[in-house]
């Protein structure tokens, strides 16, 4: 299947959350490389954490090599640790993680979550909560390569069956197993956004809480 036309979707940039380590499975690095190339082919700019190592580095180098635009957002601490990649078209250095996460959320038209560690988990959940409460209306995609995020998806499902998470949250998470399928689904979701409905998405409007 050929890449979608650039004007198919309002998604012009994708913020990608991923690890600064390579992980134990070569598929993780391979998928980061494939996603970077796919974004460039589809005309979607990359916004990411600015790192030059691990999945971050593979993603950014691939996007740039394929002719894509790359914006890195990194903290002063990580720059001092020499983790920044000097090949970014734009590198934004911020004081701390709060400012970094805010810029990452604001600058992307959609979000893709690749394998990563605690920081990636935090970024995913903060972005998802922002969508649930209506802080933004951007699509969120999870790359479940080699089943890496199956436990995360199961955790969300556990929250739903335990009546702490509304089942409408399922509509806000695009889960795919390949980077190309994930990116195409995000582009499509950007063209057909799920409307924010507090009565469907917020726990206090169901499960014995506020119902009106």
Helix (H, G, I), strand (E, B) or coil at 211: coil
Q: Any bridge partners for residue 101, and if so which?
A: none
Predicted local confidence at residue 186, as pLDDT:
96
Helix (H, G, I), strand (E, B) or coil at 17: strand
Determine the longest span between alpha carbons in the chain, in angstroms: 53
**Nearest residue to 143 via CA among 45, 36, 2:** 36
- Enter the tokens of residue 124: 């995913």
Predicted local confidence at residue 205, as pLDDT:
74
**Sequential pLDDT tens for the chain (212 residues):** 445 444 557 899 999 999 999 999 999 999 999 999 999 999 999 999 999 999 999 999 999 999 999 999 999 998 888 678 999 999 999 999 999 999 999 999 999 999 999 999 999 999 999 999 999 999 999 999 999 999 999 999 999 999 999 999 999 999 999 999 999 999 999 988 888 888 899 988 776 544 43
CB environment 30-65: b (16+ within 10 A), e (fewer): ebbbbbbbbbbbbbbbbbbbbbbebbbbbbbbbbbe
Check: CB of residue 119 under 8 Å from CB of residue 18. Answer: no
Predicted local confidence at residue 163, as pLDDT:
94
Full-model pTM: 0.91
């Amino acid at each position: 299947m050929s890449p979608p036309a650039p004007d198919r979707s309002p998604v012009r940039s994708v913020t990608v959350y991923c690890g600064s380590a390579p992980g134990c499975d070569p598929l993780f690095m391979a998928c980061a490389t494939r996603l970077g190339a796919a974004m460039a082919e589809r005309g979607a700019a990359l916004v990411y954490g600015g790192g030059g190592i691990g999945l971050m580095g593979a993603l950014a180098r691939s996007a740039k090599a394929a002719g894509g635009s790359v914006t890195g957002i990194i903290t002063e601490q990580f720059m001092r640790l020499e983790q920044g990649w000097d090949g970014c078209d734009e590198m934004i250095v911020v004081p701390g993680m709060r400012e970094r996460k805010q810029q990452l959320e604001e600058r992307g038209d959609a979000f893709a979550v690749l394998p990563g560690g605690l920081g990636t988990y935090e970024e995913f959940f903060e972005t998802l909560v922002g969508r649930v409460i209506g802080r933004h209306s951007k699509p969120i995609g999870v790359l479940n390569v080699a089943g890496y995020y199956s436990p995360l998806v199961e955790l969300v499902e556990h929250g739903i069956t335990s009546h702490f998470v509304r089942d409408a949250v399922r509509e806000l998470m695009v889960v795919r197993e390949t980077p190309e399928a994930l990116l195409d689904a995000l582009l499509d979701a950007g063209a057909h956004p799920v409307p924010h409905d507090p009565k469907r998405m917020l726990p206090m409007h169901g499960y014995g809480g506020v119902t009106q």
